[in-house]
Chains A and B, each alone.
Chain A
Amino acid sequence: MTTPATSQRRPQAPIAPEIPERIQRVGKALVAPLASVLFAFAVGAIIILFSGGNPIEAYQGLFCGGLGVFCTGDTYGSVAAPYRISETLVFTTPLILTGFSVAIAFRAGLFNIGGEGQLIMGAISSAVVGIHFATWPGWLLLPATLLAGILGGAVWGGIVGVLKAYTGAHEVVTTIMLNYVAIFFLQYLVTGGPLQLPGQTQVSPPIGVGANLPKLFPQAAQVFGLPGSVYRVHTGIFIALICAGIFYFLLMRTTLGYEIRAVGQSQRAARYAGVSAQRTIVKTMLIAGAFAGLAGAIQTTGIYHNLPIGYQNDTTGFDAIGVALLGQNSAIGVILSAILFAALHVGSSVMQSNAGVPASLVAMLQGLILFSIAANFLRSMKLRLPALRQAPVGTAPLPPGVAAIETEMDSSAELDTDVKA
């Protein structure tokens, strides 16, 4: 989120040596997310205390259950650390990809709440191909299945882009509505519809074995003292990391990426510079949908190996909003916050079962993290305390940069600010 502001400010900044500025920028980018995570854990601790729990034991459970560290004592001594890490990676993979879906839309000034719907359409499309062509050899079936997921998600995101660009329909409304359409379509398919496995409960037949993403550990052997089949972590994590490279390269090193960022900062200025805002919005939403669709395809090929009704309770596409915001819409940031969110999710079950602290605590922590990012406590502290204001954090006067951050979330408000500025 700070990057557009920084780049806007850069021309005014005094010429400084290259490396210190870089370090300073990285440091500054880390301060707000870290502070919001600390804030969330601090408030969470108070709430655990008030509800009669032990915050240290609860947080130990989150870390042990999510990252496999601090697994000691009577409560957590028996937890299998390698298995926990494997599970965290399983949940990290779709969060990274949907995180990019939300992040790239943010960069173009669009609020993509439709990651979930795009993920579900990706899961459906990939399952259809995986089931229908189940007899194809793996080298053909797996790529076809993943590609189907990418296309399914891209179409779902593209609809939003076209509506936004050519009719002005607000993407927040259309993405939320399309989430419902995707969920109901899924329900139709596996509840007496064409994809339901006969005689079973709301689930499709399995996809072809060739479409299964390879697992990282041998399934037959003993791995870290447990049967290898226990470890679900699969090669999808590498696909997600490759996508991180694509995301960075696309955004920072291509013309399209430049156009996306330009439209995100000011549609008027972009148009003045000869960039078609409409076409850029459509392309952005196509790419955003493709990322989320790939997440769905990876869940199909890596985890479920079929199409379950359970996606109606899935929250990956919504958690992705938090991942993107906490990760400040950057490649590395999204990866790191996806790991954090996944570890919290996976750790919560250990915390609940071993320490008796409700797993819902994690939903609260995620909410608090978002809350403190949205409320931007740090900035208001800076503005209130003169000592902090004079600290060498900003190289340029704050107001224009602040204004840019302020309005980045909402493109209609941004136009107004641009006029005033």
Chain B
Amino acid sequence: MSRMRMRWWASAALLLMLVPALAACGSTSGGGTSSVTKKYKVGLVTDTGGLNDQGFNHLAYVGLQKAKTDFGIQADVVESKSDADYVPNLTTYATGGYDLVIAVGFLMQTAVGSVATSFPNIHFAIIDGAGTDANGNDLHLSNVQSLLFREQDAGALVGVIAGVLEKDGASPKKSGIISAVGGVSIPPVNHYIAGYKWAATMEDPNIKVLIGYSNKFDDPTPCRNLANSQIDQGADIVFQVAGGCGIGALTAAATRGVYGIGVDTDQKAAASTVIASALKRVEVATYDAIQAVVQNKFQGGVTTFSLQNDGVGYAPGNITLPADVMAELTKISGEIKSGQLTPPADIPNP
């Protein structure tokens, strides 16, 4: 390597490092605004996805910011750079005497379990998980609130859309085959797929549902490949349940001229043929958890966010859906809310 080239390389590397650093500058919080009564302190610890993941870390931050405006709390954030940071980041807030420490994501379960055991007087909340021991058993700590979601409710809504479209022959290829691209076979992913398959089969008993897993949440390539192979098998509606990886499934669907369905957040911007997105309102859960602490109503144990309390839902996509789909959607949505219908948590067989 010549000297010139090495310098070029070094400055290019520096430039690359500067861009995210500067981009991140705008997105973090300092102290809060002043308030007359006790100033509550809430600390949010992201997982390794970071604040700009366009997923649940981002949504949790949105909820935190809303709570900061509404309740005048001190809202602090720290991003975890590796798994080894979970325990120290949670501990930092616990030793700082925070009123609530929020952990985003099931990856932090064990860390929450161990830190919450050391600090029984500090309140913790964890999105998508519980405080567990090393074997993954819930420790049922009274100072840990588990914020769980009935993903199957959201999955059922998009399943209704897919099912009615196939039954009406209104899908791009009228094949009667739909598919789901899962990330890893873990409970939150399977809940979505369970509701999706259940509702689609309910609407169109002859429908065929292909299910595959990419074993990835970040890299779009495996999801693109999986979606393509499902489309080869005739699938003309693809539901992605794989976070950033699944964006690859949505773009594959658009390229092949079939429909895609987004997950967790409104993903209609990801590809032109996205017809809907199944929503998991992490911002609502985060906000509610903070509100409970501010109102002195914190309670350990599981809090479930479902269609009934608007913790999950769906967002429309780029293509206007037929009137009968919308009518059926309203009907099923009402029946799930009232408890008449209960989408299953486990993927139905067959």
Interface of A toward B, CB cutoff 8 Å: 47, 51-53, 65, 78-80, 83, 87, 90-91, 187, 191-192, 197, 199-203, 205-206, 226-227, 229-230, 232, 299, 303-306, 308-311, 313-315, 345-346, 349-350, 352-361, 363-364, 367-368, 370-371, 374-375, 406, 409-410, 413
Contact = CB atoms under 8 A, between A and B. Distances in A.
Interface in B76-110: 76-79, 81-85, 87-89, 91-93, 95-97, 106-107, 110
Given A197-B136, A229-B114, A191 B76 contact: no
Contacts of B135: 197, 205-206
A363 B17 contact: yes
Contacts of B83: 304, 308-311, 313-314
B92 A310 contact: no
A313 B48 contact: yes
Given A311-B83, A359-B81, 15 more contacts: A53-B25, A187-B215, A191-B184, A227-B119, A232-B88, A304-B83, A313-B48, A313-B81, A352-B79, A354-B76, A358-B21, A364-B17, A364-B21, A367-B14, A374-B10
B78 A191 contact: no
Contact of B78 (A47, A203, A352): A352
A36 to B, nearest CB: 12
Interface stretch (B1-9, B234-242, B272-280): B1-9
Contact of A305 (B78, B93, B134): B134
Contact of A306 (B43, B77, B114, B134): B134
* Top 10 A-B residue pairs of the complex, sorted by shortest distance between their CB atoms: A310-B83, A356-B30, A206-B134, A358-B24, A51-B25, A360-B21, A353-B78, A200-B136, A353-B76, A80-B95
Interface string B106-128: 11001000110111000000000
A203 B27 CA distance: 31
Given A313-B83, A356-B28, A83 B91 contact: yes
B18 interface: yes
A407 to B, nearest CB: 10
A143 B29 CA distance: 46
Contacts of A356: 28-31, 76
7 contacts: A47-B18, A47-B21, A203-B110, A309-B83, A356-B76, A358-B25, A367-B13
Interface of A is mostly: helix
A78 B29 CA distance: 18
B186 interface: yes
B164 to A, nearest CB: 33
A199 B78 contact: no
A224 to B, nearest CB: 10
Contacts of A226: 95, 118
B134 A349 contact: no
A230 B115 CA distance: 7
Nearest to A359: B79
A201 B186 contact: yes
B7 A201 contact: no
B24 A374 contact: no
A345 B107 CA distance: 20
A24 B110 CA distance: 51
Given A51-B25, A52-B25, A232 B78 contact: no
B185 interface: yes
Given A310-B82, A364-B18, A230 B95 contact: yes
Interface in B199-254: 215
